[in-house]
Chains A and B, each alone.
Chain A
Amino acid sequence: MSRLVVDGWGKTIAVENEQIVVKEREANETKIVYRSIPSEIEQVIVTGSGSITTRAIELLAENGVDVVFIDWKGQVRARISPPIMRTVNTRREQYRAFDEPKGGALAKEFVRCKMRNQMSLLGTMAKTRRDSQPAKAQALSEGRHGIELWLEKLDEIRTASCNEIRDAIMGIEGNASAIYWDSISQLIDESFQFRNRSGRYATDPVNALLNYGYAVLEGECWKAIHYAGLDPYGGFLHVDRPGRASMVLDLMEMFRQQLVDKVVFELIFHKRVEPKEFEMENGVCKMQEGARKLLLTEILSKMEDHIRLPEKRMKWSDVIQREAVSVAKFLRGETTSYRGFWMRW
């Protein structure tokens, strides 16, 4: 199974002899640059200004392949998925759980795992710098400890419905994230002008990389949520807002650090991307083609990497799927508790 990434102008995804092909127009000639049977494709990512034919969409949908469109700012603009496969029961329980302690428990668990992963990443980075950069290692360890203190406060929050505890949870999450990004900012070279996590509209290269990486992760989480029969918009931690896939964002919280942050930091620390590969456009920092391709390749290859869980050796993309299914099982009452995903290092 492979992921098909189509980027750049003039490329079209089409069907030829029941196969998915990518055509590219050069001068006055159209040539086929990719060909595969649809059952061999796991996901199609269209980034930049590529196009796709209706027949290609139908054939991909028949084979359970979803298609994600990501713009240059790193936002998911649209996605096309096959019809959902699970019963309506999952969604009914998902909506019901929002007003019950079950929903609050999920929100709390998502944040707990996020903070745990933040601690792990800071701890790992501290250890690897122990000999070469002791002062920075010490600062990272302190950051890790700071998050741990907030984690203790999170554990003290009694489990109740989302509305009752969400503000408190988000407050703790905000404080932990401030410590995390402050610790990270001390490691990044001045030339990247990274001050803090800016969110949607990146004003510096690091945020541009992060936004793009998170968009790829969002596509993966969306797929997982969809196949688990959950409503991507019915979240617990993130507030409902028109067009906001809150449930997808909830699930993502547990994977941002291990799947995106780690990759982005490695690219920066090993100088595989340089500030000169970014430019400002209408106040938004934009990656050039090379940096964007490199990041995408790294993250997609990470998705295919295996990690060792206690019982299994699994691909990262399967781990995300497994978590979404576990959330659905918990909501349907098939399990009595939900333990999220986090790694110790």
Chain B
Amino acid sequence: MVYFLDELESKNLLKSLRPKARQVGVTEELRGWNWDTSPLKPYHDVSLPMYLICAGYCPTSRDVYLSKVKGMKGEYTHPVTMGVIIHDTVGQAFREAKLKKFDADFSSWYESMDYEKRLSGNFEEIRRCAKMVWNFILSAAKARFESCLVTQPYGSPEELILTTIPFLVEHRISGRLLGTSGMLSVDCFDYMRNIIFDLKVGFKGDRYRCRIYPTGYALVFESVYEVPVDIGCNVFINFKGERMIVEKDLFHINDDLRSWWIEERDNKAEIVYEEKDPGIPPSCPDDCIYRSVCGE
């Protein structure tokens, strides 16, 4: 249910993942609040957006070079546009839900965004998918809120909203301490259960690799707020005909993932700092936003 965990996911979190995370633990040096010492301290005076650190689109990381050294903007392909609009839709739907506007109008919000002037893609399909997401989130949020109303007769409406929809969506946070952008946007942070969520739309690649995104955000959270964030969750949204499919990957943000993120950050920061072109890979991914640039 996008960021709401279902019964099985909750059981997995409480009975398996949390105990395992407590047992295995995290090495102190790999906590974000140790950003001023090795290995977390950034090597180079470069700040990178999270997607450039974590995306494994280009096998040689030439996308980083083209974006940050050459200053080129990638093309808005259909999957990229779909991703942007679904992310916005999820964010706006949760904002409406928090204002208890469970019947907010999708069409008027969508039209106000002027997507078709700014982006490119098959908008008929994207609009249909976005509407599905919108309706789903508002229905789920309403159900949560109303079931809480009948069990918590003395809770104020504000408290009920904050506990039933405990999500900071599109939360802005500075990653400067860790050598990432000064204005990152975290897809979702569940402040009741301390989980970082990241949303993936229409993703077909290696799902394990996606764990590096919430890992990066967890490290940034730790660096800014100095509280441990040990659980991450990737939410994969796919569309099949008239149906929306949501799958989640809940995991422990362990030493291995943390070290991996640091390694990726350092490797990519080096490309930018030294302005070195890592070269064109033997084969380019079909949906790479720089495909036309490298193909020239």
Interface residues of chain A, those whose CB is within 8 Å of chain B, are: 123-124, 127-128, 130, 141, 308-313, 343-345
A308 engages B255 (CB within 8 Å): yes
Residues of A within 8 A of B24 (CB): 308-313
Give a binary string over B24-66; 1 marks a CB under 8 Å from any A CB, 0 the rest.
1111000000000011010100000000000000000000000
Residues of B within 8 A of A127 (CB): 38-39, 41, 43
**Contacts A127-B43, A308-B24; is A343 near B38 (CB within 8 Å)?**
no
Given contacts A123-B266, A127-B39, 12 further A-B contacts (CB under 8 A): A123-B263, A127-B38, A128-B38, A130-B43, A308-B255, A310-B256, A311-B20, A313-B24, A313-B25, A343-B259, A345-B39, A345-B259
- Does B106 sit within 8 A of A, measured CB to CB? no
- Does B254 sit within 8 A of A, measured CB to CB? yes
Give the complex CA separation of A123 and B27 in angstroms. Answer: 18
Residues of A within 8 A of B26 (CB): 308
Q: Size band of the B side of the interface?
A: 20 to 34
Give the complex CA separation of A309 and B260 in angstroms. Answer: 13
Who on chain A is nearest to B23 by CB? Answer: A313
Among A123, A124, A312, A343, max chain B CB count under 10 A is at A123
Residues of A within 8 A of B255 (CB): 308, 310
- Does B219 sit within 8 A of A, measured CB to CB? no
Who on chain B is nearest to A308 by CB? Answer: B255
A344 engages B41 (CB within 8 Å): no
- Does B188 sit within 8 A of A, measured CB to CB? no
Give the complex CA separation of A345 and B270 in angstroms. Answer: 17
- Does B169 sit within 8 A of A, measured CB to CB? no
Give the complex CA separation of A130 and B45 in angstroms. Answer: 12
- Does B85 sit within 8 A of A, measured CB to CB? no
- Does B262 sit within 8 A of A, measured CB to CB? yes
Residues of A within 8 A of B25 (CB): 308, 313
Who on chain B is nearest to A310 by CB? Answer: B256
18 pairs of residues in contact across A and B, judged by CB atoms under 8 Å: A123-B263, A124-B38, A124-B39, A127-B41, A128-B38, A130-B43, A308-B24, A308-B255, A310-B254, A310-B255, A311-B20, A312-B24, A313-B25, A344-B260, A345-B39, A345-B259, A345-B262, A345-B263
Residues of B within 8 A of A123 (CB): 263, 266
Who on chain A is nearest to B254 by CB? Answer: A310
Query: Closest CB of chain A to B187's CB: distance in Å?
Result: 23
Give the complex CA separation of A127 and B256 in angstroms. Answer: 18
Residues of B within 8 A of A309 (CB): 24, 256
Who on chain A is nearest to B252 by CB? Answer: A310
The 10 closest A-B pairs by CB, nearest first: A344-B259, A127-B38, A308-B255, A128-B38, A310-B256, A313-B24, A345-B39, A345-B259, A310-B254, A127-B39
Give the complex CA separation of A312 and B262 in angstroms. Answer: 21
Give the complex CA separation of A343 and B39 in angstroms. Answer: 13
Residues of B within 8 A of A310 (CB): 24, 252, 254-257
Query: Closest CB of chain B to A285's CB: distance in Å?
Result: 32
B259 engages A130 (CB within 8 Å): no
Query: Closest CB of chain B to A127's CB: distance in Å?
Result: 4
* B214-255 residues at the A interface, CB under 8 angstroms: 252, 254-255
Residues of A within 8 A of B266 (CB): 123
**Contacts A308-B26, A312-B24, A313-B23; is A344 near B38 (CB within 8 Å)?**
no
B43 engages A344 (CB within 8 Å): no
Who on chain B is nearest to A128 by CB? Answer: B38
Give the complex CA separation of A313 and B256 in angstroms. Answer: 12
Give the complex CA separation of A344 and B260 in angstroms. Answer: 7
Give the complex CA separation of A309 and B256 in angstroms. Answer: 7
Query: Closest CB of chain B to A141's CB: distance in Å?
Result: 8
B256 engages A344 (CB within 8 Å): yes
A344 engages B20 (CB within 8 Å): no
Residues of B within 8 A of A343 (CB): 259
Give the complex CA separation of A261 and B23 in angstroms. Answer: 29
Give the complex CA separation of A26 and B263 in angstroms. Answer: 56
